[in-house]
Amino acid sequence: MSEHKGVFVFSEKHDLALEILGKAREIADKLQTELVAVLIGHNLQDKANEIVKCGADKAYLADNQALERFQAEAYLSVLQSLALSCKPEIILIGSTKNGKPLAARLATRLETGVVPDCTKLSIDEQKRLVGDRMTYGGNAVAKVTFKKKPQIATVPARAFEKPEPKNRNGQLVKLDVKIEAPKTEIVETRPLETSNVRIEEAEVIVSCGRGLEKKEDKVMLDELAKALCGQVGCSRPLAEDRKWFSEWVGLSGHKVKPKLYIACGISGVIQHVAGIRDAKVIVAINKDPEAPIFEIADYGIVGNLYEILPALKEAVEKQLQ
């Protein structure tokens, strides 16, 4: 096991790779080992420079037109050949819709374990990587470590902060890897039909659940959100069952950490709560005094959201003047 060394970082999303690098730098320093970034794509020079500024000692560049778009087998072959030749101790991969399956398949090829969606990473007394992840539908946080190396963990967006770029030197190494032919063909890619706002970035979220009776009543939430310079969200049933929204907040949807989350007519099932756990302040408005949402709220109002929301909008506008 001891022959494994180095912390490797990869994400096909550049911003996420940078976020992971900040934490990975800490881990590499603790283990007194090298921090290595892997870049796969085309025209990577600028990204490589930024990667070094954000903490990498070394960056491997698989720069090839055939790698411009994410293709599982092609990307996998680059990471696999690097892992076999460099024997990293830790591989951290961005937990995206493409990145997580990539990590799973890399681990399968390397006959090792993966801990997915780690929101915390640490090193234990035996110098093993320990990842914290939400499990049981948000009911619990599991601390998981590894029995084999390389230790592969995936890291979701916004778990760690992007480090401040510094003027520092790093080694750039161009790779010449035999790229595996993809088994799937991408026919078309088009932007997701969303409202173009990224709810993860909102400081204030006014969110509704099944307590909202008609789609048109969203206007009430829009108006309150506007008064608070925030955005509107919803719980899963409104998006998946009623189709009033295209996205939702929760474990299977967006995980958010706003300063203020106002849950209107949301009962507070554990999967929804898991998506808002990191909110600074949670306000719950619900007709049912027994609704579980009140258990995780800072401020609870038992009442009719059709009366409270317009009143709250008025109160906010009046008091913020």
Partner 1 sequence: MRKIIVCLKQAVDVSQLKVDSTTRQLLIASAPRKMSDFDKNALEEAIKIKEKLGDTEICTMTVSSEDAKAVLREALAMGADRAYLVSDPGLKDVDTSGTAYVLAEATKKIGECSLILCGETSLDSFSGLVGPRLAELLNLPQMTSARKITVEGDTVTVERTLEEAVETMKAKMPALVSITREINQPRIPSLMMIMKASKKEIVAWTASDLNLQKDKIASKIELVEVLAPKTERKKIKITGENPQEIADKLAKALIQEGIIGR
Nearer to partner 1, 45 or 135 (CB): 135
Is there binding between residue 68 and partner 1 (CB under 8 A)? no
Is there binding between residue 45 and partner 1 (CB under 8 A)? no
Nearer to partner 1, 16 or 39 (CB): 16
Is there binding between residue 214 and partner 1 (CB under 8 A)? no
Q: Residues of 298-311 as b/e, b for ≥16 C-beta within 10 angstroms?
A: eebbeeebeebbee
Which residue, chain included where needed, has tokens 């929204």? 245
Q: Looking at 30, 42, 143, 168, which residue binds partner 1 (CB under 8 A)?
A: 143
φ, ψ dihedrals at 49, nearest 5°: -60, -45
Q: Residues of 251-278 as b/e, b for ≥16 C-beta within 10 angstroms?
A: bebbbbbbebbbbbbbbbbebbbbbbbe
Question: Smallest distance from the beta carbon of 45 to partner 1, in angstroms?
Answer: 24
User: Residue type at 99?
Assistant: G
Is there binding between residue 259 and partner 1 (CB under 8 A)? yes
The structure tokens listed for 62 are 């698989």
Is there binding between residue 161 and partner 1 (CB under 8 A)? no
Question: Smallest distance from the beta carbon of 164 to partner 1, in angstroms?
Answer: 24
Is there binding between residue 81 and partner 1 (CB under 8 A)? no
Stretch that binds partner 1, among 28-36, 37-45, 48-56, 139-147 (CB under 8 A): 139-147
Is there binding between residue 277 and partner 1 (CB under 8 A)? yes
C-alpha span between 168 and 61 (Å, rounded): 18
Q: Strand pairing partners for 321?
A: none
Is there binding between residue 98 and partner 1 (CB under 8 A)? yes
C-alpha span between 44 and 52 (Å, rounded): 12
